Structures are given as C-alpha cells and as structure tokens.
Structure 1
Amino acid sequence: MKSVRRTRGTPPPDAFEAAPGLRNPHLQTVVGRIVRRRPEPRYDRVRLDTDDGDFIDLDLWRGPEDPAGTCLLLHGLEGSARSGYMVTTSEALAAAGIQAVALNFRSCSGEPNRLPRAYHSGQTDDIERALAWVGERYPGVPRAAVGFSLGGNALLNLLGRDRSDRGLRAAAVISVPYDLAASAAALDRGPSRLYGRRFLRSLRAKAREKAARFPDAVAPGAASARTLREFDDLLTAPLHGFRDAADYYERCSSGQFVGSVTIPALLLHSRDDPLAPAASIPVDMIRRQPNLSLQLTERGGHLGFLGRGSGTGPRGWLEQTIAEYISAALSAARTASNAEGAQVVL
C-alpha cells in the first residue's frame, strides 16, 4: 500500500515512512511530543490589546533580519507557542528565510487573560488581529499561516467561511479535527481516552481559575467535567455564544468550510490519527479544489510524523514538509507579484 495519497495542488515533498519502531499511532503521537521539546525557545514576545479590553500574546522567532516571507503559527488544544511542534516548525521556517510568528490563544500564553472568554476551534477574531499586526510589522512581505490540530480547524474556519484569503498567499494545516463531534467522541473512548484526560486536567484547572475570578460567567460543574464534550457543554459553548456542545461542534467543524478555501493550502493528515479520525476528512470535496493538496499518510499519529532517516526537530519530516511547501508557495507569490509590477511599469 502506498504511504501517501494526495490531491492536486503544489506537490508536497517526499512521501512519509515511519521511523523504525514507531509505526504505532500512539508512539508517533507521544514520542513526537517528547522529542520536539526545547528548553528555551528563541522567541521575543509582543502583546496586542484587543477591542474587547483583553490581550493576545505573539511570540516572534529570532529569525532572518530581512525575511522572504512571514508565517503565522497556530497551536492545538491546550498548546502554546512553546509546544514542541511550534518551536521546531519555527526553526525550520527560519532556516528557509521565513519569519515565524506564533500566536498564543487566550489563556495559553502563561498569563491569565483579563476576561472570562478563552478560545475555541472556530474562533477567528484573534487570528485576524495577529495577521493584521504581521502585515503592519512586515509591509510588502508575503504572508502564510500554519495551523496544528485545533489551530488548523480555526484557520480553515477563517479562510473558508467567507471565501477570503485574509491577505495570505498560502496555508498548511496538520492533523485537523474536521468533524469536532467525531474527535470529541474519539477522545472519550478506547486508548485515546488518555489524551482526553490529559486535556481535561489542564482545562479543568483553567475552569477553576476562571470560576474564582468570574463566578457569574463559569458554570460550577465545568471544573469537574468528566469528558471533553461535557466540558464543552458546560464552559466552551455558553462562554462563547453557542447553545451547547452539539451546536458548537456543528457550527465550527472545518469540514464544511475547507472546500471554500481559495488560496494554495497543504492539508496533512495521517490515516491512523487517534485524536482526529481520518474518516471525517471530506476527501471528495477537497479533490474538487485544484488549490488544495491533501497529503494523507498511512501512519504518523497525531502531530507525530517521525520519519525514517529524517531526523528530529527542525530537520524532521513534518517540519521540512511544512517549510518547503510554504517556502515554495511564497516564492511563487513573489514571482507573480514581481511580474504584475513589471507589467504596470511597462
């Protein structure tokens, strides 16, 4: 069986082959998290005030002084700019001459936010604010974005809901839960319950902190929720304007929006993903879009993709796949822009 299946679009790099001893999806998922850890990422922090009186924190990689492009990185559930995959991808992008800017979703930057609201899989206003800042900070430099898991779902919401490119020339999303209800169900049963429990420990701790500061905004039972769906019912949904978890999942699942994305985009997913079932990927919809390139590997777990002979960290298969795709797409965008400028001069 082939190790990768993809649709049309900018060709991705070499097909993925799991490293020896790491063919199990749970090993890929867990070991991937371990080997990508970095003690002290080379970030500089910028804080942006939001229109509602809160803030978001951006972490800028200390990369090239004159970047050929910029790339906004969006982390997954209960991650941050310091998550291993965010750091190693920032390193790989910097090596390709691209300035990486990592957005910490609200409550994830290491400092409690000023308001009760946090973040969720369909929230896009903070992403838009971050993209606007990047455009102002690096005028005339082509922009891209990369979203991991929940961050990828939010990015597809942003790009697909109203078919706008948001000033981006390319995007990549990895291990996206295209069907949020299916992903929540996967995290509540079988071996994947271990991941669900890990997420819940962090989420419940934040719920306790929010309940102490904003007792009128947080349901008392949120801090003792037994499943992710129950947590979304008690906190995520009411805090962000949804009727319940089912309403939240239905309105924010990116599978319904991906076919409306208009820019070149790489969609990377493993068939054995234990957190975001590959069965929820709208493959037929994606295949109809020439700008979308679906790279569907047989193995790789969730945000794992530890390949044979590809090293780890910024030299890993996942990081190089992302960096090469984004670099090629931004280079094509610069060429097209230069050609348009030359026609205008003539």
Structure 2
Amino acid sequence: MFFCNRMFDLLLEPSTLFGDLLGCLVSVVVLSIGVFLSWRGSPDIPRTLFATSPVYISVRKSKGSLSVERITLRDFVESKIPSLYLPFVPAWWLFNGHLQSIYSVLGDFSKVDNIVYHRKHLRLMDGGTLGLDFTPTNYENLKPETPIIVVMHGLTGGSFASYVRAVLARSCSPVEQNGFGYRAVVINFRGCAGTPITTPQLYSACHTDDLRQSLFYLSAMFPKAPLLGVGYSLGANVLTRYLAEEGGNSRLVSGCVVNCPWDLKQNNEKLLNTFAGRYIYHRAMGKSMQNVIRHHAGVLSKSPDTLMTKRVAAILAMKYPRGDEVDRIMMTFVGGTLPPFESAEAYYVCASSHKVLGDIRVPFLSINSADDPIVRTVPEDGAGNGYVVMSLTAGGGHLGWFEASDRLGEARSWIKKPVLEWLRAFGEDVVHEGQRGRPLHEVNGFVKEVGRDNIGCKEVGDEAGYISGTRCQEGLLSGF
C-alpha cells in the first residue's frame, strides 16, 4: 500500500518532520492494534442535533420551481442531507482516529480530484496579500447567479489540500459531467500555498478581516451569486467567527465547517496531556508552521534589529517546536490582532469559536468526529441557536473520514458526501432573500464596505496565472 510505504519513508528519513518521532508513532500504532482487537465494526450513524426552537427557511417546492414554501431547517436537513442519517464505515485498516488522521497527511491523493485553478492576488489596505484560487478556469463566463463556494483551508493547507479538492472536483464540474456546475474560490492564508508575504503579518484563528475583505471582492465581482462558506480546521474557526461577528449582515448565505477546533484553550490542554498529542500532533503542527515562517523569513525579518526579526530567529532555531510554542512566540504577535496577546493562552481564549455560536444568523452545519485526536471538545448543543446544526460521528479522526474504496489499500472520502449535499441544497433549493452585507463602494481603487473605512482590497494582477491543484509548498502538512 502506498500509504504504508509513504509513512515509513517519512519516519525513517532523519531530515523529515517525523524522523525523530518513530518511537512515538510506533506507540500509537500499538495502541491502535489494541483498539482494533476490541472493535466490532458497528455502524457509525452520525448524531445530528438541532436546537429546540426551530428556524424557518424559504425553499422551492420543486427543482427550478417559482413556488416557495417555508419549512424548518431541521425538516430541510433531514430531507436534503441524507448522508447525516446513514452510517460512516471506516476502512478496516483505518479503524481509529489516529490512523484516519495520519492517512489524511500521508495518503497519496495526487491522482484523484485533479483541479486547475486560476489565481488572483488581492492587495489589502494594510499592504498584505491574499491568493484567491478560482475554479473552474472559465468561472467568469458562467451565469451571474451561479453559486460560489468560498473555502477556508486548515492550518498550513491551501487549495492543494485533498479535502478541498474532494469537494470542488464534483461541485465545480459541468452538469453534463455529473457535476453541479458551480464556481469556487479558495482563500489561501497569507504565506500559504505559494501566496507571498508582503507585510510582517501572518494569520490566526481569530483574524477574520482577510476573509471579510475577500468577500467584499467576490460580492462586487459577482453581485447576483449566492456565496456558500466551507471551512476546515483552523479555517473552520475563522469562518465560524466571521459568521458570528456579521450576524444578519453576513455575505455568506450559509456555512459548513469540518473539524472546527472550537475551544482552543481546552483542546490545547488536552493535547498537551496526552503522549500522542504532545509529541506527534502538536509537533507536526508546530513544524509545519515553522516551515511557513522559514519560507518567508526574508520578508518577515527584513529589518535586522526589530522584535519581529528576533522572533523569527527564535522560531527557526527550534528543532521540533510544538504548535503552542509557535503560537506563543509568533502568532500572538503577528496573527492579525492588535494589540498583541500577552500569551498563547490569552490568544486561545480570545480566538475560540464555541462561545460565539449563538450569534450566527445563517444556516450553519458543523461536522466533527468523537475520535479526533486534535479536537477533543465539541459544543454539541450549538449554543441553543436554531440556525446551527451540530453533527458528530463516532469515528473519522481529523480531516479523515476515509472509507474503503474498490482498490485494495486505497480509501475514499466520506465527509465530502454531506458537504456536497449541503452545498447543493443551499445552492439550488433554498431561496435567498434580501441583501447580503452592507453596500460596497470603491475608494482609491479599494473595494470597501460602507461604514468600514479601515479595510478594503483591490486586485493586483494575475501574476500566478493557472496553477495545478495538486502542487503543495514543500514542508507543509495539508492534513492539519
């Protein structure tokens, strides 16, 4: 199996991220075998929870119909998202959250869901740059009302991530090829997936303005198109916080998040209290973030005597930094929030999204797995918000949910099923009423929202042109 060969190649090569973690991973595998011996393969039907106070949405009585009816969000989900009521059966050789999560990082996805993107660079008012990857490449020629899927990737992922491509390959294929015929744009964080760093600022779990400004641009470019939000891991946290901050003014008509980390402080503490959490997952995330900083060290430390330069040097000097160590030194300082946080714990408390669920005012679906080794705490009650649907599977790991495929030793994604059903339902069946977001205007070439003069964006050309969706920046782990 390619997965097994790839895992051991990485583990045994001293120069790689996992080179010094062989013993730790062997321990996890031994533990997994013990779990497997007691496993009975019982069906895993997701537990999907709704608030007791219903929310009503307007839907078409039939496809393409002009007749509209009002039904509860619960009734709509039960009829249009059938995957949430069918079992997830993991591949027999990926029988727990550890193996599912590891496969999401080390599995070979280069031959599936191949996508070509057209990249545009957005320059923000603070001088920063975002890489927006559009697909299909003829997206500007589609009908004005064609839905747009807006994707926020994980910690150091990007448009190349397999979990992103798994959804977009189907949803953005032409209808005659059994696709949805939608458009999509992946918002690559500053410095990720080849996006240049043009200011001494990165991104963080609480910085929502980069998403907000990207939505200004998309709304101005496609004013008739409904914008459907999808977020994974760290990107899920950013998406959730954006929806909560905007409330009824959200430019996104719906949101779907996968493996959102929710209570960052509590989940960090639980990671540090487990052997695999402290020595495998935390260090994998820390090393991947270190590689992002290393790739852009020249820009971030341009001035030799600044605090930024000292912090970059401190990060690069660490052999295998944990994620919370990188957060303490760097993300609290340049994660997009001013003034900087005093500690990583203060950053986690502020950035956590579980406490803002009650402020969301668009239909919102969250999917987590109970055996996710990174996200151990999930707010299953959805804060009692009728717009929020919380779904929890027993298995699936972190950005995993792999089922056995028809080919021996390979697996296919289960999670794309409910995500695609959600996107199709809100792209085709729901009637989106009223204006989304405050009015936009242009000031000195920057697209801004009326009443928000401090943020805005403008396109700065197509320098990147067309790029392959399977191209990954060296040293990054897309599974996190």
Q: TM-score, normalised by structure 2?
A: 0.64
The residue aligned with 2:160 is 82
Q: Does 1:191 align with 2:276?
A: yes
1:1-346 equivalences under 5 Å are 3-8=45-50, 9=74, 10-11=77-78, 12-14=81-83, 15=86, 16-33=88-105, 34-37=107-110, 41-62=115-136, 65-66=142-143, 68-94=146-172, 95-188=179-272, 189-192=274-277, 193-208=279-294, 209-210=296-297, 212-215=301-304, 216=306, 217-218=308-309, 219=311, 220-225=313-318, 226-240=321-335, 241-277=340-376, 280-286=377-383, 288-307=384-403, 316-334=413-431
Residues of 2 paired with 1:135 and 1:258: CA distance?
Answer: 24
Q: Distance in 2 between matches of 1:325 and 1:261?
A: 17
- Mean alpha-carbon deviation: is it higher for 103-112 or for 61-70? 61-70
Alpha-carbon distance in 2 for matches of 1:78, 1:181: 20
- Using the TM superposition, name which of 212-221 and 126-135 deviates more: 212-221
Task: Please tell me the residue identity of whatever aligns with 2:391.
Answer: Q
Judge which range, 151-160 or 6-15, deviates more: 6-15
Segment of structure 1 superposing worse, 176-185 or 217-226: 217-226
* Alpha-carbon distance between aligned partners in 1 of 2:103 and 2:426, rounded to the nearest angstrom: 30
Letter aligned with residue 290 of structure 2:
R
Asked if the contact 1:142/1:334 (under 8 Å) is kept, the reply is no
Unaligned runs of 5+ in 2: 1-41, 51-73, 173-178, 435-480
Per-residue CA deviations over 1:216-246 (Å, capped at 9, x if unaligned) read 1242423245322121111110224222211
Deviation of 1:187 (Å): 4.3
Deviates more, 1:14-23 or 1:310-319: 310-319
Q: 1:214 to 1:295 in 2, by over 3 A?
A: farther
Q: Distance in 2 between matches of 1:165 and 1:321?
A: 26
1:54/1:285 CA distance change after superposition, 3 Å:
closer
Q: Contact conserved, 2:248 with 2:361, CA < 8 A, in 1?
A: yes
Matched position secondary structure for 1:334:
coil
Q: Provide the C-alpha distance between the structure 2 equivalents of 1:46 and 1:83, rounded to a whole number of angstroms.
A: 18
Q: Which moved more, 1:72-81 or 1:233-242?
A: 233-242
* Counterpart amino acid of residue 4 in structure 1: P
After superposition, the Cα gap between the structure-2 partners of 1:335 and 1:152, relative to the gap in structure 1 and judged at 3 Å, is closer
Give me the whole-angstrom Cα distance separating, in 2, the residues matched to 1:214 and 1:118. 17
Change (3 A) 1:325 1:206: closer
Aligned residue type for 2:332: A
Letter of the 1:75 counterpart: H
Q: Identity rate of aligned residues, in percent?
A: 25
Aligned length: 334
Query: After alignment, is 128-137 or 71-80 more displaced?
Result: 128-137
AA matched with 1:275: I
Whether contact under 8 Å (1:116, 1:214) holds in the other structure is no
- Residue type of the alignment partner of 1:332: D
Letter in 2 for 1:7: L
Whole-angstrom distance in 2 between the partners of 1:299 and 1:27: 11
Contact 2:402–2:412, Cα closer than 8 Å, also in 1: no
Q: What TM-score results when the alignment is normalised by the length of structure 1?
A: 0.87
Q: Which stretch has the larger CA shift, 295-304 or 131-140?
A: 131-140
Alpha-carbon distance change, 204 to 76 in structure 1, aligned in 2, over 3 angstroms: same
The amino acid across from 1:222 in the alignment is I
- Structure 1 residues 179, 214: CA separation in 2 closer, same or farther (over 3 Å shift)? farther
- State the match for 1:341 in structure 2: none
- Using the TM superposition, name which of 324-333 and 95-104 deviates more: 324-333
Which of 1 and 2 has greater Rg? Answer: 2
**Closer/same/farther in 2, CA of residues 272 and 124 from structure 1, 3 Å limit:** same
- Classify the secondary structure of the residue corresponding to 2:397: coil
**In 1, distance between residues paired with 2:212 and 2:160?**
21
Shift of 1:38: 5.2
Displacement of 1:109 after TM fit? 2.9
Deviates more, 1:243-252 or 1:309-318: 309-318
Matched residue SS, 2:431: helix
Once the two structures are superposed, residues 268-326 of structure 1 have per-residue CA deviations (whole angstroms, 9 ceiling, x without a partner) of 0000001111xx2222244x222211110000000101135699999732112111101
Q: More displaced, 303-312 or 179-188? A: 303-312
Structure-2 change in CA distance of 1:313 and 1:52 (3 Å): farther
